[in-house]
Amino acid sequence: MSERILIEGNEAVALALKLIDPDVVAAYPITPATEVVQKFAEYVADGEVVTEFVAVESEHSAMSACIGASTAGGRVMTATSSQGLGLMWEMLYIAASLRRPITMAVANRALSGNINIHCDHSDTMGARDAGWIHLFSENTQEIFDNMIQAVRIAEHPDVRLPVMVCYDGFVISHAREVIESLSKEEVQSFVGKHKASLSLLDLEPKTVGPLDLQDYYFEHKRSQAEAYKAVPGVIEAVGQEFGKAFGRSYAQVEEYNMDGAEVALVALGSTNGTIKDVVDGMNESGKKVGLLKIRAFRPFPAELVRASLSKVKAVGVFDRSMTFGGWGNPLFTEIRSAMYGTSGNGCCCGPCIPILDRVYGLGGREISMAEIEQYADEVLAVAKGEQVELIDYIGVR
Amino acid sequence: MASLKELSTKQEGLVGGHRLCAGCGAPIAVRQILLASEYPVVVSSATGCLEVATTIFPYTSWDVPFVHSAFENTAATVSGIEACYRSFVRQGKTDKKIKFIAFGGDGGTYDIGLQALSGALERGHDFLYVCYDNGAYMNTGIQRSSATPRGAATTTTPAGTAVPGKQQHRKNLTEICAAHGIAYAAQSTAGRWQDLTKKAAKAIEVDGPAFLNVLAPCPRGWRYPTPDLLSICKLAHDTCYWPLYEIEDGKYTISYKPKEKLPIEDFLKPQGRFRHLMAPGNEGLIAQLQADVDSEWERLLRLAGE
């Protein structure tokens, strides 16, 4: 039975892990995800899970052991953050290329240097081309729910890809919130038994991870790319099924007060919660501002973004990471790319509306409701023809 | 222990058709180790000559379950496989007795893979780690590793006019592994099948981590004619350059004592990588190599109580 509990973000991840009870968890502690490993180790020590917990000596080995365990046929999960994700970088690509349905919780944190333990999205944005499915969480309830759905998405026979569940470090990882928890029976019934697509332990001779040269490598990458086409449908179907079972439905994106909106804000993660409050206030004073929350960043839901943002006159994107030397930052470039030139002949047949990019919150810098409102006002002014900087910052000296 | 005749009737885990060089020690070592196992095995391999030459898609020489993912992590990969097996056994999902073997070259073991190996040994996974030691990064074209012997010419320690090859003593990986307090660590060779199969069988039998350091000469890197593989191995043992020994629960046993310990020059002379040492003026380096060998051999004799 679902139960209302007060819980920290990291503990919610650990609780989800306990209820899923995977065959193997291989993980290494790192701020701000450390409590996931600690709490899970308590469950192991108290015999509350069947999981074999491998307390590895690095994140590189964490992901390597996850790949090994998944190749052996197990349901496998881990957690990390920031530099740890950076150290895994090589193995992230291999996990996806070997089509290993591993689920990983990532407490989003800034990357060194200089060293900073607080939230931004630089870590997972650096891994955006690795082949993982990226689900962002707005609050603790969403982390918990995303972890459980991630197993189903990753292991779907049309998908078989790893999923990272992203949640803002400290902002959510260390905040206590009341969530609706689920029972072990409910979670077990939702995730089902793991049906491995591959198991070294069946002892049938097989070679996984061969040398792949000019004559086949490209075809293998091409066939991997095909797998991502099935993902959006699976995310939506699993999100609907979760809603039917537990009363909370999920999709790739969430529109908030977009009906009749003149402009839209777009963001990832916990900032969406703050933006919703700002939008409510502005709507009450007659300002037509809506929000498009991106839950699935990979695969990027371009068609849904296009359909949603085509209804407005200007868009303001929030980027919590930077692409140094690039033109615009990660979320902005995805949004712009989705909005322009939708046919193959190169013509600009998308909706030609102004799209602004604002980098905010790097290294855990707070963003205030006043700053969000000021940005929304700027986007409203741009919708009326005012010229402003296209790519800029919020809250930096 | 099985006789050679009996071994010859067993099904091979690594079959022919691979692209490893003639005169390479690695495939001989791997075949003998796989033949020595009484149990079904799952193999994990580091990136290296062994892996790239045996798994060129769509072909494979492995007739056992095999996985490769990257260079520095085969010990971590096998940790995950073994952990999954343990979990399955605990849950009653399998009742088969399976053993796990990780293979890595010296680059993938002494250098880039040392951390993952140390972690896996400390955690106590039930697996055998085999380092096939050819003393350099042969797969990428003979670059020095921390297993390269003093004086050897490699492409990153060339025999120049100012610096005659590698200046440093090689790392003692067998001792490093043994220092983890594992139940079994040993040095063996591709050149003595009885020694290798006996040690492999023991190492596989151990319930917990075991380590085998296997000398696996490389005709390209060591620059010897390919038919000379076994004679090069023999010289490595008869000069005590590569002592054959075991450490079982901390107890040292010398597996082979040459009747007459040959001078190190006998091992160096047939190999092109040491040719420059024979030039006048480099006697000091040879003397130092001899001193390295002598001190290690004496240390082992002392530890073995001989």
- The ipTM value here is 0.97
Mean pLDDT computed over B254-266: 98
- Determine the structural domain holding residue B207 and report its residue range: 4-303
The pLDDT assigned to A18 comes to: 98
Ramachandran region, residue B293 (left: φ > 0; alpha: ψ -120 to 50; beta: rest): alpha
Residues 6+ apart with CB under 8 A from B227: B23
pLDDT digits (tens, 9 = 90+) for A257-306: 999 999 999 999 999 999 999 999 999 999 999 999 999 999 999 999 99
For residue A207, give its domain range. 3-194+203-246
pLDDT over 90 (residue B249): yes
**Is B95 strand, coil or helix?**
coil
Q: Which residues of B touch A74 (CB under 8 A)?
A: 83-84, 87-88
Q: Indicate the number of domains in chain B.
A: 1
Give CA–CA dist B228/B99, Å, rounded.
33
Burial class (CB in 10 A: 0-12, 13-18, 19+), B22: exposed
End-to-end CA distance of chain A: 50
A223 inside 8 A of chain B by CB = no
- What residues of chain A lie within 8 A of the CB of B65, using their CB? 200-206
What chain A residue is nearest to B67 in terms of C-alpha separation?
A208
A295 close to A251: Cβ distance less than 8 angstroms: yes
Q: How far is CA B27 from CA A38, A63, A382, B1, B15, in A?
A: 43, 29, 69, 21, 9
Residue A54 touches partner B, C-beta closer than 8 Å: yes
Each residue's pLDDT tens digit, B190-218: 999 999 999 999 999 999 999 999 999 99
For chain B, give the percent of residues with pLDDT over 90: 98
Instruction: Check whether residue A162 and residue A18 sit in a common domain.
Output: yes
- Could you say which of A215, A246, A277 is where a domain stops? A246
In the prediction, which pLDDT does A348 show? 56
Q: Is A64's Cβ below 8 Å from some Cβ in B?
A: yes
pLDDT at A342: 66
Q: What is the CATH number of the domain that holds A40?
A: 3.40.50.970
Rounded to whole angstroms, how far apart are CA atoms A353 and B150?
68
Cβ neighbours for B43, distance < 8 A, ≥ 6 positions apart: B13, B34, B62, B64, B65, B66, B67, B100, B101, B102, B103
Residue with tokens 């007739």: B63
A101 inside 8 A of chain B by CB: no
Q: Rounded to 10 degrees, what is the CA torsion of B226, B230, B236, B238?
A: -140
Whole-number average pLDDT of chain B: 97
Q: Which of B31, B53, B45, B27 is nearest to B100 (CA)?
A: B45
Query: Is position A234 within any domain?
Result: yes
Residue A251 maps to a domain: no
Please name every residue paired with A178 in a beta bridge, in sequence order, or none if there are none.
A6
Instruction: State how far the alpha carbon of A229 is from the alpha carbons of A150, A162, A235, in Å.
Output: 17, 15, 11
pLDDT of residue A345: 56
β-pair partners for B210: B128, B184
Q: Give the gap in angstroms from C-alpha B104 to the nearest C-alpha of chain A.
A: 15
Could you tell me if residue A176 is inside a domain? yes
Amino acid (1-letter code) at residue A361 = G
> What integer pLDDT is reported at residue B2 of this predicted model?
82
Inter-chain residue contact A72 with B86, CB threshold 8 Å: no
B chain contacts of residue A62, beta-carbon cutoff 8 Å = 76
Per-residue pLDDT of B169-180, as tens digits, reads 999 999 999 999
pLDDT tens track for B72-83:
999 999 999 999
* A71 interaction partners in chain B (CB closer than 8 Å): 67, 77, 80-81
Q: Do B68 and A209 touch (CB under 8 A)?
A: yes
Ranges of chain A whose pLDDT falls below 70: 1, 341-351
Residues A30 and A136 in one domain: yes
Judgement on whether residues A230 and A306 belong to the same structural domain of the protein:
no
Same domain, A233 and A265: no
Q: What is the pLDDT of residues B55-75, one digit of tens each?
A: 999 999 999 999 999 999 999
Contact call for A68 and B87, based on CB within 8 A: no
- Cα–Cα nearest to A262, from A376, A110, A390: A376
Residues A294, A360, single domain; the answer is yes
Closest-CA residue of chain A to B64:
A205
Same domain, A389 and A262: yes
CA-to-CA distance for A107 and A13, rounded, in angstroms?
10
Look up the CATH number of the domain holding residue A280: 3.40.50.920
Report the 10 Å Cβ neighbour count for A279. 25
Domain containing residue B171: CATH number: 3.40.50.970
A74 interfaces chain B, CB cutoff of 8 Å: yes
Torsion of CA A51, A142, A161, A342, to 10 degrees: 180
CB within 8 Å: A72 and B85:
yes
Residues A48 and A159 in one domain: yes
Interatomic CA distance for residues A41 and A17, integer angstroms? 11
Domain count along chain A:
2
User: Residue A11 falls within a domain, yes or no?
Assistant: yes
Q: Is B5 a residue whose pLDDT tops 70?
A: yes
CA distance A96 to A299: 13
C-alpha distances (whole Å) from B142 to each of B48, B137, B235, B285, B306 are 12, 5, 21, 21, 37
- Could you tell me the CA-to-CA distances from B270 to A200, B156, B274 in Å, in that order? 43, 21, 8
Measured distance CA(A271)–CA(A171) in Å, rounded: 9
Q: Supply φ then ψ for residue B148, to 5 degrees.
A: -70, 130
Taking the model in full, what pTM does it have?
0.97
Strand ranges, E, within A325-390? 355-359
Q: Are residues A271 and A173 in the same domain?
A: no
What percentage of chain B exceeds 70 in pLDDT? 100
Residues A368 and A272 reside in one and the same domain: yes
Which uninterrupted H or E stretch holds A234?
A: helix A231-246
Residues A164 and A278 reside in one and the same domain: no
Q: Residue A229: inside a domain, yes or no?
A: yes
**Is there a contact between A56 and A83 (Cβ–Cβ < 8 Å)?**
no
- Tokens (6 digits) for A11: 């503990």
pLDDT in tens, B111-160: 999 999 999 999 999 999 999 999 999 999 999 999 999 999 999 999 99
Check residue B251 and give its pLDDT. Answer: 98
Question: Å from B42 to nearest chain A CA?
Answer: 7
Compute the count of residue pairs across chains A and B with CB atoms less than 8 Å apart. 165
pLDDT of residue B1: 73
Q: Which of A136, A335, A133 is nearest to A233 (CA)?
A: A133
Judge whether A68 and B76 are in contact, CB under 8 Å. yes
